[in-house]
Structure formats: C-alpha cells, structure tokens
Structure 1
C-alpha cells in the first residue's frame, strides 16, 4: 500500500509543483488532448504521433485512466478505470460489430487499420448516452479517415521494430472531385520472430501475419458537401498469430465487413444513419505454434460470427435523438484432429441481440453547461441445443448437456441508462466537472451460455475453467465523477476522481454444482468457476497535464490509480491495472522533434483471491525517440525500454505455453529493449 500511494502522491505533487504537460500541437509523440465537444470531454491520441504499434490498442496506454489487457501481440482488450471487455463500448469507424472468437482473440480494436486510423478517442469520465449502447465502462472510438470530396491525397507509411523483427507497410489514397470520392487503403503486418524479455527469455509464440484491405466510396448529395451517402468495405486476414496467455493460438481469422452510411439535412435537423454487417470465421488450436505434451489432447476450435449494427440519429441545436440495434450470432465447435469422432459444441447458434433508443439534451445556462441523457435498452438472447461426443461415456458431461438442452435458454431483459454531466465555467481558464449516472449492462454470451467447464471466457486469461449462468441479472452501476479542467497559455491540467458502485457485477465464483466439479476434474481443474452476480465497487483518480516551458521545450504527464473491490466478501476484483505515471520531456525546433519518456508502474498486491490472481512488482521504463518532420515526409526513430528492464506486465496474464523459456503459469514478462524506425510519405 505504501509504494502504491507513494507513486500516485509523487505524480500528483510533481504535476502541481512543476506544472508538467505538453500541448497537442507542440509534440509529435504520444499526444494527449483533453478537450470538450458536444458529447462531452474526451482524450485522444493520434496514430501519426505515436511510436510504432502492432495493434491500435497499444495507444490506450497513453490515455489517462486507460490500459490494455494483452493476451498476445494482436489481442489487446480495452480497460478503462478497472472495467474491461464488453463493458467498454468499443467502436471502429462508428460501428460496434461482434468478434468471432469466444476467447476474444479478435478483439474489436484488432479490426482497425493502422494506416487508415487517424486517432484513438476515449470519452473522459462518464460517457454520454449518445456514445453507445453499453457504456458502463466508458467509450473507446477509432476515428478512421473518410473519403473526402475535391481532394487528391495519400500516404505511404512503414515501420520496423527490432525486438521480434516486426514490420508494417501501409498505404492509403483519396481520389475525388466535387461529386465523387474514393478512399482505398491497405496494411501488411508481420512479426517474424518471437519477442524477448529484458533478461533475454523468449516470449513464445508472439509471431503473426496480418493483412487488412479496404475502401470507401462517397457520393455528394448537395452543393455544400455536407450531405452524402457512402459505402465502405474491409477484408481482414490473420494467420499464425500467437496468444501465449490463452490455451490456444490463432490459426486464422478471416472477416469481411460492409458499412452503408449517410448524412442529410432535414430543415434545421441533421440526420445521420448507418447499416453495417460483418461475417467472421476463426480457427485456433493448441499444437501448431506451441509444444503439446504427450499427455495432452490436441484441440482445434472452429468459430464463426455474423453481426449487424444499425443506427439512426437526428439532432437540432440542444437535442439529439437516436435508435440503434446490434444483432449477432455465434457458433464454436471444438474437435480433435487425431480423433475424428471427438466433437463438442462450445456454443451453438447463440443469438445476442440488443435494441435501444436514446434522447440527449445539452444546454448552456449561465456559467453551467448541462448535459442530460436517457437510453432504454432491450436485450434478447438465445442458444441452440448442444452436444458432446463423450457424453455417453462421461455421466457428468451428459448431465450438464441435458440440463442445458432442457432449460429455457431464451432470455429477455430491459435496462435503462441515465446520465447527468455538468461543467461550471469559473473563468476563461478554469472549469469544474461534475457527473452522475446510473447505467446497466447485460452479460456476455459466454457468461450466459458456456455450458461445460472451459476457458472460453472472452479473454479473462486466468487459466481457470468456467461455466455460465443463463439467468444472470443486469449489472447496475451508480457512477460519480468530480474533476477540473485548467488551461492557460502554458499550463493545462485535468484531474478527475471517480466512484463506481456496481450491483450484480458479473464475475466468476467457485462452482458448487457436483456435475460441474466432476466434469472439470476430468479436464484437470479441481477448482472450476461459475459466472455469477456479486456486488463490487471501483474508485480512483486519473490526471492529465501539460506545460510549455518555452518555444522549444515542453513537459507532459498522465497518471492513473484505480482500486476494485468486492462488496459482498473481502476480496479484490480481477485484473485491475496497477497505479502508473508517465512523464515526458519534448523538444521541438523547426522540423526536429525529440522526446524522453519515463514510465513508472507500482506494485499490484490488491489481487483477486477468488481467481488465484498473482501479485506483481513495480517497475520503471525509459523510452527515447527523435523525428524529422518535413512538409511531405517524416522519419522517426527510437528505443523503448532503453535499459532492457525485466518486468512483469500485470495485465498480460499468465504463460500457458510449455517447453519454452517461461514456466507454465508464470506471469507474462514485458518486452525487453526494442529499437524501432518508422517513416511516412504524404502527398
């Protein structure tokens, strides 16, 4: 506790005494913006200003309060203030589409193109109801380039990282006249070798091969260019990508996504709408990229999903109204390539549908800006009957299968979100922030319909087997936010404190069903878990700040602290980000830019006893970078983890691979020293 509090206390004291932070326009590295718009405060980081990324989820580390649960190089799950997974509304190009993998190997952020993404944006604090359907854990949006009229432009970008021999080549171009606009883009990403930790241990498997190609055509409906209709398409293909914190690795992910959208002016109202569809297929196994011990059975999982996202909103002055829906279907079948008769329905014909409507009002009243919103959501879920080829030989499995198939698997629930956000403008430099909300969220399909003990948990990566519970109650969160925004000619500082009190929080608890325990023991787990409703509380703070020393030098900082606890028993919540602080020194002169960055992460000893979570020690890292930014091109180089520090990333899970440098069950280490080079040409 002493170390944890000292890190945060020191970071806050440093911000208040030395006034450290960099303006967005003054640095080309890890840019953090804190600003206000119609939907509320947000933080964002530009892909152009960041160090090289394998997956865009890596940018989250630069945003106050945000973190990444990393199960592999391409498998980053967004975490915000201790909440993660489906609780964080995640949109790519304004769309929420379902992943195919039951263990979140193809996370929502993994579908974002690096070359076509302009920035990663996160709502700061309590997300407004207009930000998305389920925002109990905040809202993350990848803002992508759109086809633009009267413009011919493009970019070619490349990067190389020495640790893991990782490379990326991307290109995009926009060709348009007054009435027609066409945008096309593509990414080629490859990790040729496994990465190594600071002590030289190989982190295996962490190789990958990923390609993304897409485009958008836009047609102008009016003279001003403010009314248009567009259609976009994206194809993604990933092969042989490692996920060492999960029981299987990616054999392939193949998806096609289509989006039709429009913007129209109706008198003094603005109408926005979109229809999007995704079809994804996913194969994974436990033998092609990792050692399979002779006592282990070979397993292959074929999964697929089809999903639809539709939305329409109309806005005028202070009012915004909208309706939307997200519909998805999931299947997952487990087989054994060495035993043709073995076949298990992991998930069969699972339907996971949501329909919702919202109204939002925002108005300046004297020195206050008030935002009020309400959203009504209706959840409908169902699942088909399941089968297991070993049921006749294993009574426990047959009992679980029969119970599941005989149950009423159809679930229907209605939730309501209420949000009040206020901003009091003290003067031109200082604003006070106040937020209050009641939000609800439904269980994931894994939490409801995982019928036999398995690790298909949406990426928990705790090494435990789970079963679901069909009649889980909606999570209900009561949220409070207090903070301030101060911005002068040189100093910008934005602290926040928050409290989330969540009733019926869904997490694993020890299973008590004898059939579940017996089935788990046959698979080598003496302590299976079952998803259940418990009571939880999260509280903490985060801070972003920037200070311009002079025309060339600036400082920046962000710090985060969150604590998550059970309220029904004495225990902590699982996989909560440790306290951390990032301090940066930036230099800019003419076309030259440079940055020195220090990252300090505290020990995390507030861990979940229920899920046998291991503690991690604190650590510090140093990163350096330099860039030359000309009118049409830019070249950047740097070194991350300059001193080759060995450390454990608390959010990276546990090693599940045998026969390598890391022991099974060992905490996943972070990447060692990594030299990198990137460049881009713009026209």
Structure 2
C-alpha cells in the first residue's frame, strides 16, 4: 500500500477525463485515490498505487482512512465512511447520482464501477459539498476511465487495457478503453468482462459467491477555447451472482446510464456547469436457481426496477480561488418491485408499486479568504415529495398480507417536506502545516423502502441483518450536526493527516420493535412476519444517535528507496434515546506497509490489524467479533513504458478470520454454517497486466 496517495494529490490524475473539479484543486480537501498508473519509466517513483484485486470497487475505497467495507457479496459491497453507509453517503459514478434497483441494495453504487475500469476515486471523507446534493455523511465520486484530449490537431490512438487473475475464486477480469483524440475531439469505447467462482477460505468454500458482470459503452467530447461538451452511455449486464447474506441471489441486473454535460466559461469571470442524466435499472432475484431450492410453497422470485432522471445547472462568478456559485438541481426517481412464486401464478404481490421520489434543490457557495485563512461556505435547500401507488396482489395471496395491502391502499401514501443544509470549511496553509476545521448541518430524506414498505419482508436497503422490516410513512428526514478538526503536515520525507470528528444525528432512522410488546404476536404485521420466520419484526422509526471517532494517514521515508506508510481508523456510534450501539460499526483498524521503491519496480509488505468489536447493536441482534491480523505482499514492475505488471499474495498465512461488517450466511449446503458470519477470503495470489497507449 502506498499511503502517500492518501494525501491530497491532483497531479496524479491530471491527464484523466473528466478533469478534477477546480474547487477540489483549490480547496485541497478532497482525497483523490488513483488506480495503478501507467506512466513513463523515469516517473515510476512518483506513481500513486493502491493494490486491490476484488471485483468490487467498494473494497478499493475501503482501504482509505475512515472507510470500511460492508461485505454483502462479491458485487454488492457498500462503502462505510466514518460509521455511515448506504444512502447516507453521497455516492456518484462519473458525477451521476442514481437510485439502486434492488430493495436490499444488491446493486449499491460501486456495483457499477468494476475495478478494471476505475481511473480514480474522489473522496470527501467528512462532508460532501452542498453542490453535490444532500447527504448525511461524506461523498464519493468514482471516475471511470475515458479517452482524454491529446495535444495535437490530428486524431491519435489512445488505449488503456487491463487483465487480471486471482486464485481465491479463480476470478478473471478483462477491460479498458480505446479510442481516438485530438486537442478538440475525443471519442472512445469502454468495455469489461468479469467472472468468478465461489470464494475459498481455510475451511472450504463460501457457497453461492460466484459472479459475472459485463460493461460496454461509448463516450465523446468536443472542446473549444471556452469549454467542453461531453456525452457518455454505458450498459451494464450483471449475470447470476450469489448473495449469501440475503434471502435471494442476483439473477440479473440490466442497467443503462446516459449523461450529457457542459462546462465552460461564458466570460472571464463567469463559468457555466450543466448536466442531464438518466439511469434505468431492471433486476431479478430468486431463492432457487443458485442455492438449494425451498419447498414449492416458499419458492420466491422478485422483479424490480428503478429509473432516475436528473439535471442541474450552476453559475460560478469569479475564479477558482475566489467565487460565488449559484445552482439548482432536480432528481426524479420511480421504482417498484413485485414478489411472486413462479410455480404458482395466483401468488404475486407488489410491496412497492410505482413509488416516486422527487427532489428540487437550490444552493449557494462562497469561496473566499481572510489573511492566511481560506474558507468555503455553502447552503442548500431541497423540496422533497414521495408517494406510492396502492399495492396490487393476486388471488393466491394469503389473507394476512392481503389485509395489510388493503389497509395500506386506504392510508395516506404521500409525503412532502423541506430540508436545509449548511456547511463551513476553514483551513490555513502555514508552511508545512495546514490546520482544518469543518462545521456543518447535513440532512437525508428517508428512502422509499424506509417510508413505504408496508409488507413485512427483509427489504432493508442493504442492512442484511436477517430481520424483517416494515416502513413508516410519517418518517422525518435525518439531520446531523457535524464538527471536524485536523491538520495536514508534510515535511521533507514524512507526512501525517489526523482528523477528529463528531456527529450528533437527530431523527436517525433505525429499526425499532414494531410495538411495545415484542414477542407477543397480537397484530396483523406480527402475524405475517411470524409466517415469514420472524415473530419480532422491526419498524423503521426516527431515533437519536451520535457518531464520533478519529482517523489518520501517515508515512515517512526511512532511507533511500525504503519507506513506511500507514492508516488507522476508529469510530463509535450509539443511540441517544436508549442504551444501545448502532449496527455494523467498523472496529478499530490499521494498515502499515514497508515498501522498497526502486524506480521501475517496487515491493511492499503490508500488515493489517483489526480489533475486536464488542460494541454491537442489541436491537439488530448483532453478534460481537474477534480481532485478527493479516499479511499481504505486493510488487510491480514496469516492463517498459506503457506496460505494467502487478503481482502479489493477499492473506499470506491463509488466516481464517471473520470481518465484522460481513453479513450472515443464509445458504444451506455451504462450508459456512447457517446464520453465522461469513468468513473473509483465504490466501489469494494475483497477477495483473496493464497496457496503455497515450
């Protein structure tokens, strides 16, 4: 691991497309993490690399300070940042935000970012800027590879292709981009193909963890002296992929992305930023094709969809260092799903039927400075509306769920409300040290699942805790008061960046017992939940919580090409209304790497230590976990300019360990016992080759 990438670095991606936002360049607040670079031989010593072999891009981000992986499957991992994950983080791919298609978030945002296609990840660890929309925590924008503009007037070939094999699941990944570019035009194709079998661990195989995924698309851009117009389209087809923490597995995700954007100067002091985008997800999952089939009466399949349309525009008055930005954005979401028994045509039901979520927002940002102090102030207001149709169901649906459907049809199935966000970021560049302070109020509106899930099911937006949930139409938006303080220090041969943070969250949405008598089955909801295997369902409700912690990135050169780098993270989350801990909080952890960087080749030995986690949620029935230590070896060799070979061994000593944030096994016949936490991957050797023409 090269932890120097954890410092702010713009130069490492200066030739990538789309370009890094000028405000990131100016404020030096966003961490930019690049995939292994292809550069000239004489510049290898400055390459910023982060080894990552998992097909899930979330595992790549999880190696950063304050981040962790919520492992829900090979292609379904979620990023946790300082204790928050899922829709509480502002997640985007190529600047595009969209709704996931699965009611249990089997396709979180990073599902759509194969590692072989990632160029860089822009991470706002603390808070995301108000221009990026509402969101309770930080922000992540994953930028996929694209053909960039060249320096000449004639079209020239560009290509960036990668191939990888890893032994732990016999996983193969191939992908990259190719196209033509000049100083005015660029046009390119993007594609990838990935396949893997069940993951091995020291006790055998984790059943139903194989995966398959393909991506293909095209992008183009036209640049004038004043700005750039860009367009892109991608199609992703995820095939049969296992999800042992869930009651069903992925049969397919067929997803289309389209985005049109313009950035340019209207005058010397006015810059226009505009975009329009669409994402459409079609998804099927079931409980019988990839795992042992249940009895005929319990055979289940679900078809879901999610369509997201978004547009936004902003005007920036001034320069990158001193400006006012005014903007507005709109997001329209339509999603729903049907649960049915394919062996019994009369049994079908729509737990979420044409549910819609609309948001209209406006924001203002001011970037200025007073003496050595730089500041960025922002505020935004969003008007939200949500509604859903009356549920449909077939004649084969039992009386309990049918009665709940009729009751929900006669209830108020709409909500509207307003949220207000504000932020203040201050920093001062005082030579080798840059102190930082952030104060903010951030919000998140409830998801459609949290608000309108009237049927007791395990649909929870990705919690994967085995509990049955129902929604609450009257949920209030979450609001967090945030304070962060830290500093950057960089010397001639060392650097360190520690941060302390605190979040006080009002109306935090959490599962709570359905009524005041849990275990006493005296309501229709509890009766239906009991028939589905859980007599103590949870109800999404507003509670109060707080999250605090610290993280740090550091490194120093020992002598010559030998250096040591590391990261460490600690987070704690508790309920404020009752004595309980928040669910799925990452245990304290750290990484330390000793690297010999000899110019055109390097070798690194990395140790990863994870502490035991005893602060667990009783409400969610969360089990404690033990600590562990892993060792990894990595090396790379620049064979020649434009051709790079990476090799390594992860979990060198084949340690059997349980990641605290992993889900629990729901698949019979696996080498992992039922309802126990899924183990981490065993020893895995990998080889990756990357070739680029630029």
Which bin holds the TM-score, normalised by the shorter protein?
Answer: over 0.9
Query: Does 2:566 correspond to 1:566?
Result: no
Q: Which runs of 5+ in 1 are unaligned?
A: 1-19
Is residue 474 of structure 2 the alignment partner of residue 471 of structure 1?
yes
- 1:89 maps to 90
CA deviations 1:415-438 (Å, max 9, x no partner) are: 00010111133x310121111111
Name the CA shift for 1:140/1:392 in 2 (closer, same or farther; >3 Å). Answer: closer
- Is the counterpart of residue 498 in structure 1 residue 504 in structure 2? no
Q: TM-score, normalised by structure 2?
A: 0.91
Residue pair 2:479, 2:506 contacting (<8 A) in 1 also: yes
2:292 equivalent in structure 1: 291
CA distance in 2: counterparts of 1:137 and 1:171, whole angstroms: 31
Equivalent residues in 2 for 1:505-584, closer than 5 Å = 505-512=508-515, 514-584=523-593
Structure 1 counterpart of 2:670? 660
How far apart in 1 are the matches of 2:325 and 2:204?
54
1:40 deviation in Å? 5.0
Question: Partner of 1:41 in structure 2?
Answer: 29
Q: Is the 8 A contact 2:649 2:685 kept in 1?
A: yes
Rounded Cα–Cα distance in structure 2 between residues aligned with 1:378 and 1:146: 34
Is contact 2:274-2:312 (8 Å) kept? Answer: yes
Q: Which residue of 2 aligns with 1:23?
A: 4
For the Cα contact (< 8 Å) 1:129–1:375, is it kept in 2?
A: yes
Contact persistence 2:446–2:477 (CA under 8 A): yes
Give the Cα separation in 2 of the matches to 1:392 and 1:154: 55
Q: What stretches of structure 2 of length at least 5 have no aligned partner?
A: 15-22, 37-48, 151-155, 516-521
Tell me if the contact between 1:69 and 1:76 (Cα under 8 Å) persists in the aligned partners.
yes
- In the TM superposition, residue 135 of structure 1 has moved relative to its aligned partner by 2.5
Distance 1:460 1:283, change over 3 A: same
Other-structure match for 2:137? 137
Equivalent residue in structure 2 for 1:196, among 186, 200, 205 = 200
Residues 1:616 and 2:621 are matched in the alignment: no
Distance 2:182 2:592 in 1: 45
Deviation at 1:291, TM superposition (A): 1.2
Aligned twin of 1:416: 420
In the TM superposition, what are the counterparts of 1:392-407 in structure 2 within 5 Å?
A: 393-394=398-399, 396-407=400-411
CA distance in 2, matches of 1:25, 1:310: 32
Q: Give 1:644's match in structure 2, choosing from 651, 654, 663.
A: 654
Contact 2:506 2:543 in 1 (8 A): yes
For the 8 Å contact 1:391–1:398, the answer to whether it is kept is no
CA distance in 2, matches of 1:288, 1:593: 45
| Alignment check: 8 A CA contact 1:126 1:436 kept | no
Residue in structure 2 matched with residue 247 of structure 1 by the alignment: 247
* Range moving further from structure 2, 368-377 or 147-156: 147-156
Alignment pair present for 1:359 and 2:369: no
Q: Residues 551-592 of structure 1: CA distance to partner in whole angstroms, max 9, x if unpaired?
A: 311111111100000000000000111110011111111311
Match of 1:235 in 2: 235
Residues 292 and 658 of structure 1 are in contact (CA less than 8 Å); yes or no, is this contact kept in structure 2? no
Q: 1:125 deviation in Å?
A: 2.0
Question: In the alignment, does 2:394 pair up with 1:384?
Answer: no
Cα deviations by residue, 1:10-49 (Å, 9 ceiling, x for unpaired):
xxxxxxxxxx9853499x9xx999x963355122321223
Distance 1:450 1:39 in 2: 41
Question: Structure 1 residues 68 and 262, CA, compared in 2 at 3 Å: closer, same or farther?
Answer: same
Which string of whole-angstrom CA distances, capped at 9 and with x for unpartnered residues, describes residues 617-647 of structure 1?
A: 0001000011102311011110000000011
More displaced stretch, 46-55 vs 277-286? 46-55
Instruction: Measure the CA separation in 2 of the matches of 1:652 and 1:406.
Output: 39
The alignment of Structure 1 onto Structure 2 pairs a total of residues equal to: 652
Bigger mean CA deviation after superposition, 288-297 or 101-110: 288-297
The corresponding residue for 1:16 is none
- Structure 1 position 323 matched with structure 2 position 304: no
With over 3 angstroms needed to count, the CA separation of the structure-2 counterparts of 1:577 and 1:392, relative to structure 1, is: closer
Offset at 1:596? 0.8
TM-score between both structures, scaled by the size of structure 1: 0.92
Structure 1 window deviating more from structure 2 (286-295 vs 601-610): it is: 286-295
| Cα displacement (A) at 1:336 | 0.7
| CA displacement 1:372-406 (0-9 Å, x = unmatched) | 10011111111001033368742x32332122111
How many Å separate the matches in 1 of 2:684 and 2:397? 53
Q: Is the 8 A contact 2:146 2:190 kept in 1?
A: no
Helix, strand or coil: the match of 2:298? coil
Could you say if the C-alpha distance between residues 39 and 111 of structure 1 is closer, same or farther in structure 2, counting changes exceeding 3 Å?
Answer: farther
CA contact (8 A) 2:129 2:378 kept: yes
Distance 1:207 1:115 in 2: 18
Whether the 8 Å CA contact 2:625–2:658 is kept in 1: the answer is: yes
Partner residue of 1:431 out of 434, 445, 452: 434
In structure 2, how many angstroms separate the alpha carbons of the residues matched to 1:376 and 1:260? 25
From 442, 445, 450, the counterpart of 2:445:
442
**Equivalent in the alignment of 2:46:** none
Q: CA RMSD in A?
A: 2.1
2:596 matched to which residue of 1?
587
Q: Give the Cα–Cα distance (whole angstroms) in 2 for the partners of residues 537 and 462 of structure 1.
A: 21
For 1:358 and 1:606, the matched residues in 2 are separated by 38
8 Å contact kept, 1:205–1:242: yes
| 8 A Cα contact 2:390 2:409, kept in partner | yes
Using the alignment, how far apart are the partners of 2:672 and 2:403 within structure 1? 38
CA distance in 1, matches of 2:258, 2:294: 42
Contact 1:24 1:32 (8 Å CA) reproduced: no
Aligned residue for 1:173, secondary structure, equals: strand
Which of 679, 683, 692 is 1:682 aligned to? Answer: 692
Q: Is the 8 A contact 2:191 2:216 kept in 1?
A: yes
2 CA distance for matches of 1:642 and 1:390?
Answer: 56
Partners of 1:44 and 1:63 within 8 A in 2: no
> Is 2:6–2:33's contact at 8 Å kept on the other side of the alignment?
no
Alignment correspondent of 2:258: 258
Equivalent in the alignment of 1:148: 148
Partner of 1:669: 679
SS at match of 2:569: strand
Q: Write the distance in 1 (CA, Å) between the matches of 2:368 and 2:631.
A: 45
Equivalence for 1:4: none
Give the superposition deviation at 1:524.
1.5
SS at match of 2:60: helix
Looking at structure 2, the residues matched to 219 and 615 of structure 1 have their Cα atoms a distance apart, in angstroms, of: 54
CA distance in 2, matches of 1:625, 1:588: 11
